[in-house]
Amino acid sequence: MTKKINILLILLLITLFSCKKEQKSLPTELPPLTTEGKNTFGCLIENEIYVPEIRRTALTTPIYINEFPKYPNYCFTVTTTRLVNNNDNVMDAEVGFKISIVKDTGEYNIIYSTIKYNNKYYQSDSLNNGKLKIIKLDTINKIISGTFYIKALSEDSNIINITNGRFDLKK
């Protein structure tokens, strides 16, 4: 009886140690544009699909919403991250932006944005291109949904285009 248990334990240990942690593949499509507070976010960075996520277990959240709402003027700041290494601390991409004095649905200038892509950082401000359109602002249920695009510059003046951006967030 003990021989059988020992053999089973050895087989179990071999199986456990021979398994590799499977890495999820990148998304193949953007999340749908919704207005229900589903906590989705996505865009195209230079025509590559970007969905914030953690492709391995980690203690962080891929989407962080700050400063929403603050009565009577609502600010909206989002920072998103995609992690890829075994230690869950190397970002292969991130997208973040801020708008202020949000009072209703409509189009707003992005006052500041930061993008990390291909190990290079890009920024824009209110003088550069970046627009966000809020299609739902529910201050009771704390839902904000909409679309955005950003054109940002690196330190060496390279331009990056963020298009087809969409978000449906609930705080």
DSSP annotation of 3: H
> pLDDT higher for 103 or 58?
103
Q: For all residues of the chain together, what is the average pLDDT?
A: 76
Q: Lowest mean pLDDT of 3-12, 52-61, 63-72, 144-153, name the range.
A: 3-12
Tell which residue, 59, 36, 40, 60, has the closest CA to residue 51. 40
Q: Using 50, 70 and 90 to split pLDDT, how confident is the model at 169?
A: confident
Q: Render pLDDT for 97-142 as a digit per residue (tens, 0 to 9).
A: 888 778 789 999 998 898 998 889 999 876 767 999 999 988 788 8
> pLDDT higher for 21 or 103?
103
| Residue 158: CB atoms within 10 Å | 10
pTM: 0.74
Amino acid occupying residue 12: L
Q: Is 8 left (phi over 0), alpha (psi -120 to 50) or beta?
A: alpha
Q: Which helix (H) or strand (E) holds 49?
A: strand 48-50
pLDDT, average across residues 22-29: 68
- What tokens does 8 get? 């089973």
